[in-house]
């Protein structure tokens, strides 16, 4: 078993420069790349469970914190989908080789789908072996937030440049900036066919208050018909971090890696 190493890379120049912290473990391919959610970090329960599983099975594994998250530099309020995508692609290029399985959790699924689009543009779609999208929240600013916002909230977003909402997962409120909304429009993926070039499996809780299971179903309409599958967990919430949920994630990882089902 190879030890996990921690590195930092600098992304951007001048005022856009930010230091990104990366943890990676060498091993066999397909490797796994963890893409976390909004305000999540790479030390979370699911990301850590994947690392332990990769250590046991010998798979390569890479995870990082977006700017403004966890151990990485930068201010959270300055973050946008474009910046976090740029960072994720730079980490992918620097710390992985050969076919990889992207695991996108919540907002991380949006980043994963945008990565697939950018890799395809570069002629590198073959780098993607598969995707596992957990409670996927692509286009959440447009699809999930905007329809629920009041006129006063839109006015506040314009006047103050940000919105604050209570968080179920932290004492600190969630902050959503106008820059995040504006940039989100430029990065929408649920507007036409999303050609990932690889199998996609979606894992979604049906008691998710943040990303309704209907959103995951809608996402499938934009994915190619072949090699797309979904697992719905009737009593699961957005976190999908219970012991049974973790076991399900690891089981799906094994299937996507095309490992024997039996140990």
Output the pLDDT for position 57: 96
Contact 20, 67 (CB under 8 A): yes
Q: Could you report the per-residue pLDDT of 202-261, keeping only the tens digit for each? A: 999 999 999 999 999 999 999 987 799 999 999 999 999 999 999 999 999 999 998 765
Q: Could you report the per-residue pLDDT of 135-151, keeping only the tens digit for each? A: 999 999 999 999 999 99
Identify the DSSP state of 144.
I
Q: What is the number of alpha carbons within 13 Å of residue 101 lying toward its C-beta?
A: 28
State yes or no: pLDDT of 31 exceeds 90: yes
Residue 81 confidence class, pLDDT cut points 50, 70, 90: very high
Give the architecture (CATH level 2) of 5-140+195-256: 3-Layer(aba) Sandwich (3.40)
Which positions ≥6 away from 257 have C-beta within 8 Å? Answer: 30, 32, 59, 101, 129, 130
Q: State the Cα–Cα distance between residues 81 and 208, nearest whole angstrom.
A: 22
Annotated catalytic residues are 106, 208, 238
Residue 262 confidence class, pLDDT cut points 50, 70, 90: very low
Q: State the Cα–Cα distance between residues 10 and 58, nearest whole angstrom.
A: 28
Output the pLDDT for position 172: 82
State yes or no: pLDDT of 76 exceeds 90: yes
State yes or no: pLDDT of 74 exceeds 60: yes
Report the mean per-residue pLDDT for the chain: 95
Q: State the Cα–Cα distance between residues 28 and 162, nearest whole angstrom.
A: 43
Domain ranges of the chain: 5-140+195-256
Q: What average pLDDT does the segment 189-208 reach?
A: 96
Q: What average pLDDT does the segment 8-14 reach?
A: 95
């Amino acid at each position: 078993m190879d030890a996990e190493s921690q590195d930092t890379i600098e992304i951007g120049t001048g005022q856009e420069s930010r230091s990104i912290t990366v943890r990676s473990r060498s091993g066999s391919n397909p490797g796994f790349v963890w893409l976390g959610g909004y305000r999540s970090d790479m030390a979370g329960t699911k990301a850590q469970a994947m690392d332990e599983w990769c250590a046991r099975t010998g798979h390569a594994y890479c995870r990082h914190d977006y700017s403004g998250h966890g151990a990485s530099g930068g201010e959270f309020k300055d973050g946008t989908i474009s910046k976090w995508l740029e960072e994720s692609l730079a980490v992918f290029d620097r710390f992985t080789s050969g076919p990889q399985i992207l695991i996108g959790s919540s907002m991380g699924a949006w980043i994963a789908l945008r990565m697939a689009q950018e890799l395809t543009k570069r002629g590198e779609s073959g780098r993607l072996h598969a995707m596992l999208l957990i409670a996927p929240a692509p286009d959440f600013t447009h699809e999930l937030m905007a329809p629920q916002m009041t006129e006063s909230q839109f006015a506040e977003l314009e006047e103050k440049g940000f919105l604050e909402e209570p968080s179920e997962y932290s004492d600190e409120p969630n902050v959503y900036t106008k820059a995040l909304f504006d940039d989100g429009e430029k990065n929408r993926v649920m507007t036409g066919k999303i050609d990932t070039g690889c199998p996609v499996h979606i894992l979604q809780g049906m008691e998710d208050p943040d990303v309704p299971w209907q959103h995951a179903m809608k996402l499938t309409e934009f994915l190619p018909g072949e090699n797309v599958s979904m697992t719905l967990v009737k009593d699961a919430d957005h976190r999908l971090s219970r012991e049974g949920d973790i076991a399900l994630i690891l089981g799906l990882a094994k299937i996507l890696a095309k490992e024997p089902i039996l140990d």
